Amino acid sequence: MAVFKGAGVAIVTPFKPNGEVDYEKFAQLLEFQINNGTDAIIVCGTTGESSTLTHEEHLDVIKYCVEKVAGRIPVVAGTGSNCTETAIYLSTEAEKYGVDGVLLVSPYYNKATQKGLYKHYKAVADSIKVPVILYNVPSRTGCNILPETVVKLCTEVENIVGVKEASGNISQVVRLMALADGKVDLYSGNDDQIVPLLSLGGKGVISVLSNVAPRQTHDICEKFFNGDVEGSCKLQLQAAELCEALFCEVNPIPVKKALDLMGMEMGTLRMPLTEMDEANVPRLEKAMRNFGIIS
């Protein structure tokens, strides 16, 4: 059984002006998500600025999230690292807090061969019992998990269940699902490719868009699963302009600005991320207005 089905939000981490995690705002954001139909919370991922959280902060945010969500929907924790021992540490601690699964980004900077990727993921998965979702995002990591490696891991390691595919390479995803034989739970890692990946047998999306449009992103998936492919596709196309605007600068710069424009005040970003260029703000506002998020 999949960890979740539908739209999981890759949730932002709110910060106070002094740079500390703002747990009061985080609690409000979690309630906003749950009340608007989000199917899962993915905490401490790329969008959550995990790379600039200390290990202590990282684990505190995961623990807080699990406690606040309180079993209402699944919580998946980003616990990946380019250091296998660090990924094991974060994953084993997150498991103690009661997460429903972990999301493991492929090793970045030092990268790895396909053999190294297999050994890395197996070592982390063997250290825990909760389900593992692999995260393939070559544009950030410089490392591509090939379809054969994904299928081998999902076949040979009991608790590795699927992959968040953010390569953007539809041909690669087609090959993956052709090889998968039902053993790989596929999640889109790109908001502009939800319907295409669902059509290939995907279980849903791990979404940046869901931060600002949780109900609509949920509905893209729900309509598809209910057989309303035309309605799902219509929503996907309506979201195209906003998806582009949310990635006109590196994620999560635009989505934090979008939440601010919605009056949700998610606070500052941690360097080396900086505030959105003012020249790009009108584009974001226009896209949000056209999608009915702001008036």
d(CA 249, CA 79): 24
| Segment (H or E) for 236 | helix 229-238
- What distance in Å separates the CA atoms of residue 190 and residue 197, rounded to the nearest whole number? 9
Give the whole-angstrom CA distance, residue 4 versus residue 40: 7
Q: How many residues does the chain have?
A: 295
Q: Are 295 and 263 in contact (CB under 8 A)?
A: no
Residues annotated catalytic, as ranges: 135, 164
Q: Calculate the alpha carbon distances from 252 to 14, 223, 227, 258, 259 in Å.
A: 11, 27, 32, 10, 11
The letter for the amino acid at 266 is M
Which is it for strands 185-188 and 204-207: parallel, antiparallel or unpaired?
A: parallel
User: To 5 degrees, how large is the angle CA 178–CA 181–CA 182?
Assistant: 115
| Residue (of 197, 81, 212) closest to 135 by Cα position | 81
Distance CA 149, CA 42 (A): 24
Please state the separation of Cα 272 from the chain's center in Å: 21
Instruction: Tell me the helices (H) and strands (E) count for the chain, helix number first.
Output: 13, 8
